[in-house]
Amino acid sequence: EVELLESGGGLVQPGGSLRLSCAASGFSLSDYAMTWVRQAPGKGLEWVSVISGTGGITYYVASVKGRFTISRDTSKNVLYLQMNSLRTEDTAVYYCAKDRLRSIAAAGSMDMWGQGDLVVVSS
Amino acid sequence: DIQMTQFPSSLSASVGDRVTITCRASQKISDSLNWYQQKPGKAPKLLIYSASTLQSGVPSRFTGSGSGTDFTLTINSLQPDDFATYYCQQYYTTPAWTFGQGTKVEVK
């Protein structure tokens, strides 16, 4: 069964760091582009970051560039989002999602999502 | 960034109704558009990709159409399970993908 399971969320103070994990089962992360999408409380969806199936290409939304890093461990089949210098506006449920395709050039359609993990940035 | 505008932001409908949701892009995006359904406390679910292609396992009462800047999601014969929030998302500008603000379909 294809499944994504996020973990690592929680409460962190402004300026702090947190690493989200997304364990994939039923498929290999090497075969698909993988994305992080977030949703602030009561708000809509915002794309955050994507990594290609090869792992060689990564992109970020402007508001997190330089603070967040997407990566993966193919031996463990786990996707990560390292979040540094966190701000209150980063408070959201973070979803990892599998793309329909491997190449970033053709990606953008997320056909499998994790259950989401809440990150709260507050003092 | 390409802005995606959905309307209406909410609507009330009854079981059996035909529902139409519109999504407009701030510039042409060809057919690079997805539709997602999200229920409270749950992750989004892909319904339609490439503007009109039904994702595997999605009921045929969901149809998507449009190209360029104007797109529609139609739900024929609304079912109880369809009350949810629907989002459009463009993927024309890789990787600056953007979502619409959502349309909540509520029970009349």
* Sheet of A18-25, strand order: A3-7, A18-25, A78-83, A68-73
B99/chain A closest Cα distance in angstroms: 6
Check CB contact under 8 Å for B46 and A111: yes
Answer yes or no: are the C-beta atoms of B19 and B12 closer than 8 Å. Answer: no
B82: which 2 tokens? 């369809």
Check CB contact under 8 Å for A113 and B45: yes
The residue assigned the tokens 């999602």 is A97
| pLDDT > 70 in chain B, percent | 100
Q: How confident is the model at residue A3 (pLDDT cuts 50, 70, 90)?
A: very high
Closest chain A residue to B9 measured between Cα atoms? A44
A3 in reach of chain B (CB within 8 A): no
Average pLDDT, chain B: 97
Tens digits of residue pLDDT in B40-88: 999 999 999 999 999 999 999 999 999 999 999 999 999 999 999 999 9
Q: How confident is the model at residue A102 (pLDDT cuts 50, 70, 90)?
A: confident
Tens digits of residue pLDDT in A48-60: 999 999 889 999 9
At A33 the pLDDT is 94
Q: Distance from CA of residue B28 to its chain's centroid?
A: 17
At A103 the pLDDT is 82
What number is the average pLDDT over the span A99-116? 91
At A73 the pLDDT is 95
A16/chain B closest Cα distance in angstroms: 26
- The set of residues, in sequence order, having a beta carbon less than 8 Å from that of B81 and lying 6+ positions away, is none
Check CB contact under 8 Å for A44 and B100: yes
